[in-house]
Amino acid sequence: MCQEKLVQEAVDTLLDNGIRGQPMRDGHNKVYKSFSDVIEGKEGRFRETLLGKRVDYSGRSVIVVGPSLSLHRCGLPREIAIELFQTFVIRGLIRHHLASNIGVAKSKIRGKERIVWEILQEVMQGHPVLLNRAPTLHKLGIQAFQPVLVEGRAICLHPLVCKGFNADFDGDQMAVHVPLSLEAQAEARLLMFSHMNLLSPAIGDPISVPTQDMLIGLYVLTSGNRREYGGTYGRTGQSARGNASQVHQLVEYIISCYGARKGVVDTAVRTSDAGYLTRRLVEVVQHIVVRRTDCGTVRGISVSPGNAKPYLATPGATVHGHYGEILYEGDTLITFIYEKSRSGDITQGLPKVEQVLEVRSIDSISMNLEKRVEGWNERITRILGMPWAFLIGAELTIVQSRISLVNKIQKVYRSQGVQIHNRHIEIIVRQITSKVLVSEEGMSNVFSPGELIGLLRAERMGRALEEAVCYRALLLGITRASLNTQSFISEASFQETARVLAKAALRGRIDWLKGLKENVVLGGMIPVGTGHLNSKAIEKTNGLFVYLRPIYGRREGGVWGEMTRRYWNINLEEMLEAGVHFGHGTRKWNPKMAPYISAKRKGSVTIAVRNPQTIPTGGQNFFEYILEFIRDYEEFIMNPLISAASVIAAGLAVGLASIGPGVGQGTAAGQAVEGIARQPEAEGKIRGTLLLSLAFMEALTIYGLVVALALLFANPFV
């Protein structure tokens, strides 16, 4: 074998062992671990260490009932509390001059002196902790509590919060975490306290209600001594832990054994399937963020509580149809959820839900309806009925497809007696139908035929540029939809890590770090909750104006700017997708309105951005980013309203930057102006006249002077 082939096989084994078939093994018949094995899988680099980070200041113990606790309090054992709040206790000992240094303070803590517990009580007052029970399947799996010191080694918990955690007191364990920063403590206190989460996020019903053990206790306490029956009647009479039908299973021994074994097998087998389905559902919607509490629409149907009240019916009751409605034998008039739930279990419903969400074809025998019966005799039964209201095989619109998918999923869950609000399923279905395939006709200068793009992007780009985009709607499964995102980091952390990273490297993809997972991987602020306000600098307010106007007819419909994260990501298509206004002409800036683009098809574009608060104080500054942004284009001209003032102030920029360390160079703005004013004349791609105007105001600390207005330079680049 030639040397080149040996080297190639060694490189392939290093990158992905087993890509050539049989994986290579060492002398002990152990498979070599390649680079792809290190980064892929549950124990890989992404899911093990980047997405699932280990934290300090956490503990774990068994939970027990705390009868004297309030709803928002939890009992922490002394051993756990002193470890969690050790740094705060050390600071308290030093502040009270009870310890001269950290070593002395730690020795006092190890000695468990009385003053240590007093300072611990003081530190814990007003400092919330987070309790988490695995698996965390919804937001109520992590809640905040006010800690209280208790004796023993178990965590005490109020029983009413157990349903949100799906916990009981038969040996369940919970993890305790301490929020350290003031922002984290405020977020836990205002958003995560248990008394702030009393409703179920799935259907909106109260979730802090007595169940199971609490119902048994209340039943026993309130029953009195009126009936002297045994424990079996007591357990079935109050219907908290069983019913009368389960008593029959004691006699029906074979059926009881089958049911018990089936329950154990289903619990072991279907847990992984349900967990994997949940992971895919979370992955496909992880970048969906609620941006407004109310969209402000005036459309809709007003429904009074009386009209929305459910009507109860019992099996065997007579149900009347509406007058004029045609009823046929075998039609479903009403579905009794609790009656039907007894005939099936989740092992039957889960594959159906997965089949719909993954948009898989149904393997069934199709009926041949092409042949017709020409003659007639008594052996052929005459069938009378109404024709179908739609054509078999007709294509559905996107709206009709979404309604059909929601109804199919809800039908499965309702058959099992599970109530889920439509909005949760609609978000998933929206992602399934969010991509379209560009057809051969139309918009070939913007989108390539066969390109897979977003539905909203196609519609908004078509409205903005006044041309119809011809496309064909697609139904992507949740797995394919998760692997068709703008973030390759999010894709790589989901599935096929090595393939996604290799393809991203070959194509030179850029990740703008706008989703949750990519920010978690890189340790940034996730753009949700309180971090949502800092997620998009284009939505910031107050003060800083940048006017950029390209020459007539240049780069129409193209990308107008690409800048790094934390600053301004000005991108025409992304601004359109974000709902930024795109219209004709030029409008005046309204501080109360969101930033906008105002443009013509073959005219000028004005981009207005405002936010002076995120200008960096060190490293590369905002003005240099603006300069990089402009270098991508060949010719620029200034907004005519301020071009004259810019020419007059061309020399003022250099003078302002060189006033001195107390006035000009001591400020970030002065250093930025100086850096731009001293740029060399030969700047690569720019061949026209560059005029950049910027208005800013900054307070000066030494002399108390105020720079009212600073206009930038006029610098020709050849």
Mean pLDDT, consecutive 10-residue segments, the chain of 718 residues? 81 82 81 86 87 88 94 95 94 91 92 91 93 92 95 94 91 94 90 92 88 80 68 60 65 71 76 87 87 72 64 62 58 52 58 87 51 52 45 69 89 83 90 86 68 85 78 87 87 87 89 87 83 51 31 32 32 44 35 33 34 36 40 34 36 38 36 38 33 31 30 34
The torsion angles phi and psi of 124, rounded to 5 degrees, stand at -70, -20
In 3-state terms, what secondary structure has residue 347? helix
Question: What 3-state DSSP class applies to 380?
Answer: coil
Domain residue limits at 231: 213-248
Q: What was the pLDDT predicted at 442?
A: 55
Count the neighbouring beta carbons within 10 Å of the beta carbon of residue 455: 17
Q: Cα–Cα distance between 668 and 621 in angstroms, integer?
A: 8
Cβ atoms within 10 Å, residue 429: 22
The CA-atom distances, in angstroms, between 330 and each of 69, 381, 386 are: 56, 18, 14
CB count within 10 Å of CB 649 equals: 19
468: which 2 tokens?
């119809």
Rounded CA-CA distance 692/650 in Å is 10
- At 156 the pLDDT is 96
Decide if 510 is inside a domain: no
pLDDT at 393: 55
Total number of domains constituting the chain? 4
**Other C-beta atoms within 10 Å of 284: how many?**
27
Contact 669, 709 (CB under 8 A): no
Same domain for 111 and 237: no
Domain boundary among 167, 196, 225: 196
> 715: part of which helix (H) or strand (E)?
strand 714-716
Residue 552, classed as helix, strand or coil, is: coil
**Pairing verdict, β 142-150 and 694-695:** unpaired
Half-sphere exposure of 406 (CA within 13 A, CB side): 19
244 within domain boundaries: yes
3-state secondary structure string across 145-157: EEEEEECCCCEEE
Quote the CA–CA distance of 482 and 472 in Å, as a whole number: 20
Which residue type, as a one-letter code, is found at position 345? D
For residue 394, the model assigns a pLDDT of 59
Q: Cα(133)–Cα(277) distance, rounded to whole angstroms?
A: 20
pLDDT at residue 342 in the model: 40
Is the separation of the CB atoms in 691 and 637 below 8 Å? yes
Shared domain for 154 and 8, answered yes or no, is no
Do 150 and 217 lie in a common domain? no
Q: Is 97 domain-assigned?
A: yes
Distance CA 285, CA 410 (A): 19
Based on the domain organization, do 66 and 40 belong to the same domain? no
Asked if residue 289 belongs to a domain, the reply is: no
3-class secondary structure, 130: strand
- The answer on 689 and 645 residing in a single domain is yes
Which residue's structure tokens are 């379209």?
Answer: 436
Angle at alpha carbon of residue 634, lines to 553 and 464, rounded to 5°: 35
**Alpha-helical regions (H) of 320-418:** 337-340, 346-357, 398-415
pTM of the model: 0.60
| Residues 169, 87 share a domain | yes
Q: Are 36 and 63 in a shared domain? A: no
**Who contacts 169 (Cβ-Cβ below 8 Å, separation ≥6)?**
63, 64, 65, 159, 162, 213
Q: Please state whether beta strands 73-77 and 142-150 pair in parallel, antiparallel, or not at all (unpaired).
A: parallel
Distance, CA of 99 to CA of 107 (rounded, Å): 9
Are the C-beta atoms of 547 and 639 separated by less than 8 Å?
Answer: yes
> Distance between CA 217 and CA 65 in Å, rounded?
13
Domain assignment present for residue 40? The answer is yes
**CATH, residue 127:** 2.40.40.20
- Give, to the nearest 10 degrees, the angle between helix 253-284 and helix 422-432: 60
DSSP 23-78: PPB-TTS-BPP-HHHHHSSTTSIIIIIISS---SSEEEEEEEE-TT--TTEEEEEH
- DSSP conformation class of 161: G
| Cβ contact 677:713 at 8 Å | yes
Q: Residues 678, 610: one domain?
A: yes
Q: CA 671 to CA 623: how far, in whole Å?
A: 10
Residues 121 and 172 in one domain: yes
Residues 180, 71: one domain? Answer: yes
Helix (H, G, I), strand (E, B) or coil at 706: strand
Domain co-membership, 669 together with 574: yes
Is the CB of residue 154 less than 8 Å from the CB of residue 62? yes
pLDDT at site 658: 37
Q: Are residues 10 and 78 in the same domain?
A: no
